[in-house]
A = this chain, B = another copy of it.
């Protein structure tokens, strides 16, 4: 089993959807990634920062699931990163209401000694210079470095973002971001341009329409499970990334064929994440539920045309 290092936010979220609204609840990219990866019982560690206002019980949720949190810096006199957003009726778009960086403004990530030789590095959505700092702290070149990012960094830190992109093996972004990054509407052409920037594997997330995995001239399409109801999309992309990274860490096989399975696991876990507010569904998620839904994914996509 490979070791997995995760860098990203551990935060407070306040969310409003057509179904209701929350006060400050547990959120953050690294939280969702860590919870998803913990489904695979891999040896993982989160590198992040929180303030003195962050409840110990939230950190315990991660450590209770085997996620090492010695790399989560606690700034006693500081306040935790806070994000608040409101989803539109179609649940596909949202407005950010509040972003308080707080302790995240001066985040200087420190990878724990025991994880500097981790084979898999998952760079959650954060300033690209923070992501780069984590990569540079690794004592060996990781077997697989995975980058998640978003349009915000393309707008304000494109040169730094391109430097990190050049250093990673896999990038996960959504369709609009792939188009923004490359100036290409066709996702096939966009993926090829992103390949040329560095990553050998490009995962394009399309929300309710699933996810595409590109590698050289090959492509794999994992549809999203059609759901009766999407309750709260927050964290779905991070959960996808955590499932993807966690599965690869567990199986120690970073071939394209096995990455297809990783995409299916990521999609499966993300389909649970959106069923409740925040991390609620991921926290009580049982292995047998995951197993049942994987079977649904198989039924959803597999067909039996004989090709002679």
Contacts and interface: CB of A to CB of B under 8 A. Distances in A.
Interface string A255-274: 00100110011000000000
A1 to B, nearest CB: 18
A303 B260 CA distance: 6
Interface stretch (A5-13, A141-149, A294-302): A294-302
Contact of A220 (B206, B291, B300, B307): B300
A225 to B, nearest CB: 8
Nearest to A209: B209
Nearest to A210: B223
Interface in A276-307: 291, 294-295, 298-305, 307
Contact of A298 (B227, B291, B307): B307
A89 interface: yes
22 contacts: A186-B226, A186-B228, A186-B229, A188-B226, A188-B227, A188-B228, A206-B209, A212-B226, A218-B299, A219-B226, A219-B300, A220-B299, A220-B300, A220-B301, A220-B303, A221-B226, A222-B303, A223-B223, A257-B304, A260-B303, A261-B304, A302-B302
A2 to B, nearest CB: 19
Count of this chain's copies in the oligomeric assembly: 2
A72 to B, nearest CB: 32
A193 to B, nearest CB: 12
A271 to B, nearest CB: 12
A25 B125 CA distance: 49
A54 to B, nearest CB: 35
Contacts of A295: 307
Interface string A237-261: 0000000000000000000010011
Interface residues of A, number: 39
A18 to B, nearest CB: 9
Interface in A173-217: 185-189, 206, 209-210, 212
B223 A264 contact: no
Given A186-B230, A189-B228, A209-B209, 18 more contacts: A89-B185, A90-B185, A188-B227, A189-B229, A206-B209, A210-B223, A218-B299, A220-B299, A220-B301, A220-B303, A221-B301, A223-B223, A291-B307, A294-B305, A294-B307, A298-B307, A301-B302, A302-B302
Chain A contact residues: over half helix, strand or loop, or mixed?
mixed
User: Sorted from nearest, which 5 A-B pairs have the closest CB atoms?
Assistant: A221-B223, A209-B209, A260-B303, A188-B228, A261-B305
A81 B305 CA distance: 38
A62 to B, nearest CB: 26
A265 to B, nearest CB: 8
Contacts of A219: 226, 300
A90 B298 CA distance: 31
A108 to B, nearest CB: 39
Contacts of A302: 301-302
